């Protein structure tokens, strides 16, 4: 499996992924103009010389051994610059009457733009029919290798908007309440509008004053800050990287947004830059534990993949890899690369995975 920047030839499969990901996955919507603009923006971003983060958007695709695109993952260099990035912030207000010796406290949701300008990891989707061991982790962690190598392209704070709770029909309990009282649009329509950048209705129709959460329906209250069941393993991966929830939730499904300092993300801090030495595969020992994720250090011709056989010589900062993998990563002897060992965790069964052997089933489908 190899990860590379998206290209124009990937349009058709990206559109299939936009359909497969379903409502609520607002970073990919089934709209030709939107997807073509997204691909072009990514190509332009990878080609651009950058000294500080701006309007860049980096979209990667994961190919299997047959060259089939089986997943996507992305980084927004500065979220909220092209269109407003809205959240609700959950906090507690205390009301106290000294004269009556009474007090009460209520949880409230305040609309804000707190994360404008932060870098955002997003668009992680592993196609259900291609789930396999390590594919999801590769999609998640490749972004950190790219960010570690090119920190000038990203902000000091990195966020991830996690997909909130919705049912099989794509209905969000949180949005159902907002739709009933404020915006008479279904959740799928709202997702398409937001994904396409049409957010004027937020300022025009959404409530501008704090929402007292106890006035919401029970179903809406229960999902505030909760993630979709298929997103839980992805959230655990990010929490293991040091991401934390600070009370900010999505405006439409109330899914949590998590954040971390760029330099403190564990995979970034633990990644190692080295020189590459190609070796015949049979001459290398299997990697102890989980495979390594290895990436070249370029931008527009970025490539990353997994190494199950490798030998690192720390004193020489030299990594020996199978010659076939070195070629797939478009590397040569002496070229610079960056690597990281994937974390060990049990592989879990997932729904609708009957076409894949259980031991190869990947534990999550999408993150954000």
- The mean pLDDT of 19-25, rounded to a whole number, is 75
CATH number of the domain at 318, please: 2.40.40.20
* Inter-helix orientation angle 32-47/11-21, to 10°: 120
pTM for the predicted model, two decimal places: 0.85
* pLDDT greater than 50 at residue 74: yes
User: pLDDT-based confidence at 360, cuts 50/70/90?
Assistant: very low
Lowest model confidence (mean pLDDT) among 46-50, 230-234, 346-350? 346-350
The verdict on residue 303 lying in a domain is: yes
Structure confidence at residue 46 (pLDDT): 97
Per the structure, the complete domain to which residue 332 belongs is given by: 268-341
Q: Cα 344–345–347 angle (5° rounding)?
A: 130
Whether 364 is in a domain gets the answer no
* Predicted confidence (pLDDT) per residue in 328-345, tens digit: 999 999 999 999 998 765
pLDDT at 348 over 90: no
Q: Are 53 and 77 in contact (CB under 8 A)?
A: yes
* E runs forming strands in 304-352: 304-307, 311-313, 318-322, 336-341
Catalytic position from the list 87, 134, 228, 282 = 228
Could you tell me if residue 273 is inside a domain? yes
Res 195: pLDDT: 67
Q: Is the pLDDT of residue 62 over 50?
A: yes
Residue 307 lies in a domain: yes
Q: How far apart are CA 53 and CA 117, in angstroms?
A: 9
The reply to whether 280 falls in a domain is yes
pLDDT at 29: 82
Does residue 228 have an active-site annotation?
A: yes
For residues 42 and 84, what is the distance between their CA atoms, to the nearest angstrom?
A: 20
The pLDDT, as a whole number, for residue 352 is 32
Decide if 309 is inside a domain: yes
**Local structure of 137: helix, strand or coil:** helix
Residue 300 lies in a domain: yes
Question: Out of 67-71, 168-172, 271-275, 310-314, which region has the weakest mean confidence (pLDDT)?
Answer: 168-172
| pLDDT at residue 102 in the model | 83
| Domain count for the chain | 1
Residue 287 falls inside a structural domain = yes
């Amino acid at each position: 499996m190899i990860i590379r920047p998206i290209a124009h030839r990937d349009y058709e499969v990206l559109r299939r992924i936009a359909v497969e990901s379903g409502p609520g996955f607002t970073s990919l919507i089934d709209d030709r103009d939107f997807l073509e603009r997204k691909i072009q923006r990514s190509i332009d971003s990878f080609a651009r010389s950058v000294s500080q983060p701006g309007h860049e958007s980096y979209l990667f695709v994961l190919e299997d051994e047959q060259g089939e695109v089986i997943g996507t993952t992305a980084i927004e260099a500065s979220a909220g610059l092209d269109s407003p990035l809205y959240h609700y912030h959950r906090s507690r207000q205390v009301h106290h009457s000294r004269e009556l010796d009474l007090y009460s406290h209520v949880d409230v949701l305040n609309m804000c733009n707190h994360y404008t300008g932060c870098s955002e990891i997003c668009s992680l989707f592993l196609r259900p029919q291609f789930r396999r061991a390590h594919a999801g982790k590769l999609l998640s962690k490749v972004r950190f290798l790219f960010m570690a190598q090119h920190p000038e392209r990203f902000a000091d704070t990195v966020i991830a908007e996690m997909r909130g709770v919705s049912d099989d029909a794509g209905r969000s309990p949180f949005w159902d309440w907002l739709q009933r009282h404020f915006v008479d649009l279904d959740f799928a329509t709202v997702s398409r509008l937001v994904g396409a950048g049409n957010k004027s209705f937020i300022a025009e129709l959404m409530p501008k004053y704090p929402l007292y959460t106890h006035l919401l329906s029970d179903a809406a209250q229960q999902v505030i800050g909760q993630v979709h069941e298929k997103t839980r393993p992805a959230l655990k991966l990010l929490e293991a990287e040091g991401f934390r929830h600070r009370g900010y939730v999505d405006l439409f499904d109330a899914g949590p947004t998590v954040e971390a300092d760029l330099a403190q993300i564990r995979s970034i801090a633990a990644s190692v830059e080295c020189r590459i030495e190609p070796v015949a595969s049979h001459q290398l020992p299997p990697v102890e534990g989980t495979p390594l994720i290895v990436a070249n250090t370029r931008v527009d011709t970025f490539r990353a993949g997994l190494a199950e056989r490798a030998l690192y010589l720390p004193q020489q900062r030299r990594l020996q890899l199978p010659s076939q993998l070195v070629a797939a990563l478009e590397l040569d002897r002496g070229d610079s690369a960056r690597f990281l060992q994937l974390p060990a965790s049990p592989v879990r069964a997932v729904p609708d995975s009957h076409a894949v052997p259980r031991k190869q089933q990947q534990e999550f489908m999408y993150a954000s």
